[in-house]
Amino acid sequence: MRSVGLEEELLLADAETGEPLAVSSTVLAAADRAGAVDGGAGEEGHAFESELQEEQLEFATKPVTQMGELFEEVVRWRAEAARHAATAGAVVAALGTSPLAVRPSRSPGHRYEWVSRQFGMTAQEQLTGGCHVHVSVDSDEEGVAVLDRIRPWLAVLTALSANSPFWQGEDTRYASYRSRVWNRLPAAGPVDLFGSADRYHAEVRAMVESGVLRDRGMIWFDARLSATYPTVEIRAADVCLDASSSVLLAALVRGLVETAAGEWRAGRPPSRVSTGLLRLASWQAGRSGLDGPLLHPDTFRSTEPEGAVDALYRHVGQALADCGDEEFVRAGIARLLEDGNGARVQRSVLRSEGDLAAVVRHCARRTVDDGRRGAP
């Protein structure tokens, strides 16, 4: 069974006002002081890393094969993040963007300085929280075959995970405004078919050699070969409000990878849908989330969100059954369609509380309150 790991980017905020706090260096120092943690990741013995802005903290789970294990990993590291953030007077919130206005503070380091200098205001505005899913592959050739075959389905993942309706204190009318901000960067978003690992690597090499990008880590495709691990890395999703939604996303992504790899082995070619249509699907998913029309992954015509999500579920159904994830995913999808994703939750809290600070407080509590809500 293919292993799966998650990376989540969390917002650091004031517990009362909800305003983002530039304290990631302090939080990382607290994690360092806590010492090595069994099962952690990273050279420091814990799972945490800095991000471009000081108002963010990232963690990475270890790779696992069972969704129950992954759920425990996500719950554990969210709780650890909250514990270390508290030493800096902050809370952590799984939010794709800050609901309140913020002028982000760049994290220290030569690479972040280069990014800031190269991309200017686009980099300054990149206070966005994503969820990146890594799934193991046997080779780069299999990995690129997977990338070519999952292209039509990635926008549905954006819709399911959408958790960023607010930007600089305003309702954007988008469900995932993070996806729109992120796609301002070069090398971000949907890409063309590659056809082979050689062509993929040649494209990446040419993009870096252009001088626009500093290194392979700036290949910000919606899905790419990891530069570090033997995995494909799917980057189209917002960070999810609930741990169970993150794990649901991971199960669907593993299903997509397994299904695509099987199609490749069987000699079935990928869909030749244009990158232009994929960009429209990505935009529509960011705009609507689960509360409006999406483009159907087969026809690229407008459909209700239930139709697009059901198409994804049916597409990966056999792979889900083979991995033992079928019931968990079915129940998780039904819950999201009924109760809503993070974007719907945030807007609901604002309507009831009338205050964006209350939105952040609610989401901070929910980030670390697993409550076994939807657990595998």
Q: What is the pLDDT of residue 373?
A: 74
Q: What is the DSSP string of 129-187?
A: -EEEEEEE-S-HHHHHHHHHHHGGGHHHHHHHH--B-EETTEE-S-SBHHHHHHTTSTT
Query: Which of 16, 18, 8, 115 lies closest to 56, judged by CA?
Result: 8
- pLDDT for 248-272, tens place per residue? 999 999 999 999 999 999 999 999 9
- 355 three-state secondary structure: coil
For residues 136 and 141, what is the distance between their CA atoms, to the nearest angstrom? 13
Q: Please name the amino acid found at residue 46.
A: H
Q: Which fold has domain 4-118+125-368?
A: Creatine Kinase; Chain A, domain 2 (3.30.590)
Q: What is the value of pTM for the model shown?
A: 0.95
Distances (CA, A) of 63 to 71, 169, 190, 282: 12, 37, 26, 28
Domain borders along the chain are 4-118+125-368
- CB atoms closer than 10 angstroms to residue 351: 8
Q: What is the pLDDT of residue 43?
A: 43
- 235 three-state secondary structure: strand
Q: Which residues pair with 279 in a beta bridge?
A: none
Query: Which of 129, 158, 206 lies closest to 363, judged by CA?
Result: 129
Q: What is the pLDDT of residue 35?
A: 63
Q: Using 70 as the pLDDT threshold, list the residues of the chain that sit under it.
A: 35-45, 370-372
Q: What is the pLDDT of residue 126?
A: 95
> Could you tell me whether strands 56-60 and 48-49 are parallel, antiparallel, or unpaired per DSSP bridges?
antiparallel
- pLDDT for 86-109, tens place per residue? 999 999 999 999 999 999 999 999
